[in-house]
A and B are shown apart, each in its own frame.
Chain A
Amino acid sequence: MLEILVFSLLNGVLFGMLLFMLSSGLTLIFSMMGVLNFAHASFFMLGAYFAYQISTVTGFWIALILAPLLVGGIGMLIERYGLRRVHKYGHVAELLFTFGLAFLIEEIVVMIWGRIPVDYGVPADLNFTFFTLLGTNFPAYRAFILLIAVMMFAALFLTITRTRIGLIIQAALTHPDMVAALGHNVPRVFMMVFGGGTALAALAGVIGGPILVTEPGMAFLLGPIIFVVVVFGGMGSLGGAFVASLLIGVIQTLAVALDWSLGGTLAAIGINLPVDGFIGTFSRITVSQTAPILPYLMLVLMLIFRPKGLMGTRES
């Protein structure tokens, strides 16, 4: 039991860190431009596919650097020639644009790499056991993911709060006209932020691809969850996204490990519910079965009771 708990926690933190890497870019883009980028998980997927393609030629380490840069470049082009055009029609049109983009990217990935998963595995350098605890092995690659995620959080946090670039980004968020008057090219700042955000998503894809499955449906699978993270953590709050990612990662992973049900719990203390009908079905649902809906339940509840989110400072 202890072993299950420890490893569920570890894997929960790991999943949470991956979620954070994904959603930090989304948070950045959202807080800057007010655009909820529906295609964000698609850039994550592109990162994984690009890394797979590059690593077949050059190996993993060069792909780790090259793939995010390439995807970031694509993100910048999309901002410059797509999103900026749509901006004048308002937020609904922007949302719809990224929604269509997500569709498009998935189909383009199918067109180039096919429908079946590609063989993108853990690099040989990192394919060993990091430590063994209570008889279960913890792979080194997972530790590597944790390391990258922590480094990314630190770098991002320092950039935003301690550097001149972060200063301009934060100012452009609240006072775009003032920043423009001071001689900064605000549209270009937006373009850089969008490109940076997509590059972060791609980085998550490069290191997440080997432990998830790199296939065309992966964006569709992860897409909604990162919205939960961003909304739950508070729109535009990097710290909130961090806490929310870990929370969701741990809760979901722990829930999967539990096979308690309401009926079973009540029966253990002497109350027996009817076996048939709606109540019967309801009482037999185990916690592990509810794992997929937990994030969305959290999202809806948060939006009802505290639309600002965990650490957000403003509503949408």
Chain B
Amino acid sequence: MTDRTLPTGKTAAAAMRGGARPGGPGFLARYGLWIFAIVVMVAAPQFMTSGFSRSMLSQIGIAIIFALSYNMLLGQGGMLSFGHAVFYGLGGFAAIHLLNEISPDGLPLPLELLPLAGGIGAMVFGVIFGWISTARAGTTFAMISLGIGELVYAGTSMFPDQFGGESGISGNRVTDTSLFFGYGPQVEVYYLIAFWCLISTIVMYLLTRTPLGRMANAVRDNEERVRFVGYDPRIVRFVQYVLASFFAGIAGGLTAINYEIVTAENVSAVTSGSVLLMTFIGGVGNFAGPILGAILVTILQLSLSSVTETWQLYFGLLFVVMVMFAPMGLAGVIMAHQPIWQAGRMGRLVVPYAIGLVTFLIMGTGLVALIEMNYYMSTTYDASIPMVLFGQDVSVHEALPWALAVAATVVGGYLFRLAIRRIVRAWDAVVAEIKQGGA
């Protein structure tokens, strides 16, 4: 069986070249996006002042580091891991133990450096597990990562002193040793997270442009040829793996500070699965993809879970649909529009897209209603009590709501199919025009 990976190489290389074209774009074109990102990061908590949104921003920052570190494996190195949370969680445990050494009056270590401790802690395990698992790529690698993930998760319950058993290990982030803030209020923690997020993102971005990053791409795309050129694919994978575990550990360390508790949940398969979803939904072929994914998925997770109990179903649907129709993720979808945008022909797609959106919303509303009514019927104690759906009281024992929902789903679905055909036609026409114009 040959190991085919997702066709990620070309777009990734193109994205990187865009920034480094000699004598190409000026300062603003080259660093504009970075500056914009920094401004947004600094300004965001000043506008979003509620406790919920500030803690969401903090979670997004952590998720970005975690997803980017995961993409070092999947997107850049072609290693599909089902156990990346091992490093996130173990980094968190390393950090929280050190925090308990510092606080209240112990080691004179600044709190700001704690994430680094998490990173180093995770890296130690990265060396051990990496050496075991990077000998092979493809499915074997995925299986080993699954096994290691389960081993570590089960292991946490065997060492209650080190991992705190069911209740986890808690700490207190307010120490005398911090350099800048007291880290009592959430916004101060946010700025610490933002700082580490920025540093990690820059370092991980620069890493993609080192010989190591390029060799990781090469090992992903054609391992045999890499061996031919004189590199050992295993060593390349190993180094990439260890570095990825380091950054996952930084994210874990920040989690320890943010929540002041680390539990076995942090190393579990659920956490591993969720970082995989984030990275993939964002897009593995582009450096910015996982960032998009981390932002979107964290917001979805937090907001959907407060609206509906069955949010994971929508989430699974989104994921499966992405795998089937947009395996390059959100970033891939955006990148596909770039040439059309540059040719100034986006206007041609606006109307088909709008029709697509409207029909999708009709279908989606029906589908959501069906799912929610079904869920309500099977999980509530007394289904005769009306449920609240889209702000309306709906009685699931009457036929009307069901008929409406089915009608909306079927009619909307049919119209959406037609709309999709129209989008495809418009798209093909625009692409043909651009090609003719260029020739």
Kindly identify which residue among A91, A108, A282 contacts B3, using a CB–CB cutoff of 8 Å.
A91
B146 touches A227 (CB 8 A): yes
Cα–Cα distance between A284 and B209 once the two chains are bound (Å): 49
In angstroms, how far is the closest chain B Cβ from the Cβ of A18? 19
Supposing A34-B1, A300-B144 touch, asked if A95 and B378 sit within 8 A by C-beta, the answer is no
Cα–Cα distance between A277 and B161 once the two chains are bound (Å): 8
Binds B, one of A69-77, A127-135, A240-248, A290-298: A290-298
Quick one: CB contact mask for A104-135 with B, threshold 8 Å, 1 for yes?
A: 10011011111100000000000000000000
B139 touches A91 (CB 8 A): yes
Cα–Cα distance between A90 and B328 once the two chains are bound (Å): 12
B159 lies within 8 A of chain A by Cβ: yes
B-side contacts of A96, CB under 8 Å: 80, 276, 280, 319, 323
Count of A-B residue pairs with CB < 8 Å: 142
A303 touches B140 (CB 8 A): yes
A-side contacts of B313, CB under 8 Å: 104, 107-108, 110-111
A100 touches B319 (CB 8 A): yes
A296 touches B151 (CB 8 A): yes
In angstroms, how far is the closest chain B Cβ from the Cβ of A279? 11
Supposing A103-B315, A224-B150, A292-B154 touch, asked if A303 and B80 sit within 8 A by C-beta, the answer is no
Cα–Cα distance between A229 and B320 once the two chains are bound (Å): 26
Kindly identify which residue among B4, B147, B324, B371 contacts A82, using a CB–CB cutoff of 8 Å.
B324
Interface of B is mostly: helix
Cα–Cα distance between A114 and B7 once the two chains are bound (Å): 40
Tier of interface size on chain B: 35 or more
A93 touches B320 (CB 8 A): no
A281 touches B150 (CB 8 A): no
A-side contacts of B375, CB under 8 Å: 110-111
A-side contacts of B280, CB under 8 Å: 96
Supposing A96-B323, A104-B320 touch, asked if A111 and B310 sit within 8 A by C-beta, the answer is yes
B-side contacts of A303, CB under 8 Å: 136, 140, 143-144, 147
Q: B141-194: which have CB < 8 Å to A? A: 142-144, 146-148, 150-151, 154-155, 158-162
Q: Other than the known A96-B280, A103-B312, A314-B1, what 6 A-B pairs have Cβ atoms closer than 8 Å?
A: A92-B80, A103-B315, A104-B317, A111-B310, A111-B374, A231-B143
A-B contact pairs, 16 of them (CB 8 A): A82-B320, A85-B324, A90-B4, A91-B3, A92-B78, A93-B6, A100-B316, A104-B313, A111-B313, A111-B378, A224-B269, A293-B150, A296-B147, A297-B151, A304-B144, A307-B140
Closest 3 CB pairs of A and B: A90-B4, A107-B313, A103-B316
